Amino acid sequence: MEQREHRSSFLVYFILRLLVIAVMVLQIFNRNYENVFLCILTLLLLIIPSFVQVTMKVELPTTLEIIILIFIFAAEILGEISEFYLVYPFWDMILHTINGFLAAAIGFSMVDLLNRSEKLVFQLSPLFTAIVAFCFSMTIGVIWEFFEFGMDHILGYDMQKDTVIHTIKSVMLNSEGRNVPAEIGDITSVVIHGKDLGLGGYLDIGLIDTMKDLMVNFIGAAIFSVIGYIYVKNRGKGSLVKRFIPSKKKENRDFLKMIQTETKNHEEQEK
């Protein structure tokens, strides 16, 4: 039944799954077992949209489901294994923007579904619902940055990519020890242990990358919050907005009735 309702998203899922399996086989031949683990993780993550719909009875619009599937593939396979994060500097910013959008969708749907529940005696206004979705998305973004920081400092990864800068302003450089930042400008080289690193400037240790990630997360969250606000304000109007708003899954009575009819006819034929 799920395949009939979401044929296009199932096709995207099937194609991406085949691509991930092909990449995994290639990584096994190359004996790159860390990437094999990433492929296995990607296969598990690709199941999540369908799992949520079946177990939690939440209907994900086809457009939103396809975006989630492509996002997972772009982050894990293209970003990590194919090194798109290094080849295309804007790749990380695009994914963080989409992440802000998707996280806001999740936060918004949770509040919206609670608003429609008959068990609750209160309802949030459209504006407050949008604010909650925005705050939820930003919280997820901050938690992810905590995760990147932890992976870098505990396991020695470099998830918070560094940035080459040419100016430093810091109170630590103030020769008088005052709380006034001193500036070192026109930095064109950094020498460590007598060796020029050839960076053309000073190496920032992830702060700028983190702030850029949170800024684009902000943009994605703000865009969806506006979309969600319009959706709640004009309930049932606008086909474009409905493509991004999860809803409570309705029981497909017509489909169940058809199954029951076919079963009954089959039993009568056997008699």
Tell me if 64 is assigned to some domain.
Answer: yes
Tell me if 25 is assigned to some domain.
Answer: yes
Of 219, 218, 209, the C-alpha closest to 138 is 218
106 in the same domain as 217? yes
Tell me if 242 is assigned to some domain.
Answer: no
H-helix or E-strand spanning residue 237: none
Q: Among 88, 104, 130, where does a domain finish?
A: 88
Q: Among 88, 105, 126, where does a domain finish?
A: 88
220 in the same domain as 123? yes
Q: Among 34, 69, 88, where does a domain finish?
A: 88
Which structural domain, as residue segments, surrounds residue 171? 163-204
134 in the same domain as 221? yes
pLDDT tens-place values along the chain, 271 residues long: 555 556 788 899 999 999 999 999 999 999 898 899 999 999 999 998 888 887 877 788 888 889 999 999 999 999 989 989 888 888 999 999 999 999 998 888 878 777 666 565 556 788 888 898 999 999 999 999 999 999 888 988 888 888 888 898 889 888 888 898 988 888 888 888 888 888 888 888 888 889 999 999 999 999 999 888 888 787 656 566 677 777 776 654 444 455 455 555 555 665 5
The token pair at 121 is 């005696």
Specify which residues 169 forms β-bridges with: 183
167 in the same domain as 63? no
Distance CA 61, CA 238 (A): 14
Q: At a CB cut-off of 8 Å and minimum separation 6, what does 223 contact?
A: 101, 104
Tell me if 4 is assigned to some domain.
Answer: yes
Tell me if 226 is assigned to some domain.
Answer: yes
170 in the same domain as 43? no
140 in the same domain as 14? no
Total domains in the fold of the chain: 3
230 in the same domain as 183? no
Of 92, 40, 44, 100, the C-alpha closest to 67 is 100
Decide: 194 and 209 in contact? Cβ < 8 Å: no
Give Cα 60 distance to the centre of its chain. 15
221 in the same domain as 146? yes
230 in the same domain as 138? yes
187 in the same domain as 145? no
What does the buried/exposed string (b/e) look like for 229-249 if buried means 16 or more CB atoms within 10 Å of the residue's CB?
A: bebbeeeeeeeebeebbbeeb
Q: pTM score > 0.95 for this model?
A: no
214 in the same domain as 145? yes
Tell me if 223 is assigned to some domain.
Answer: yes
109 in the same domain as 24? no
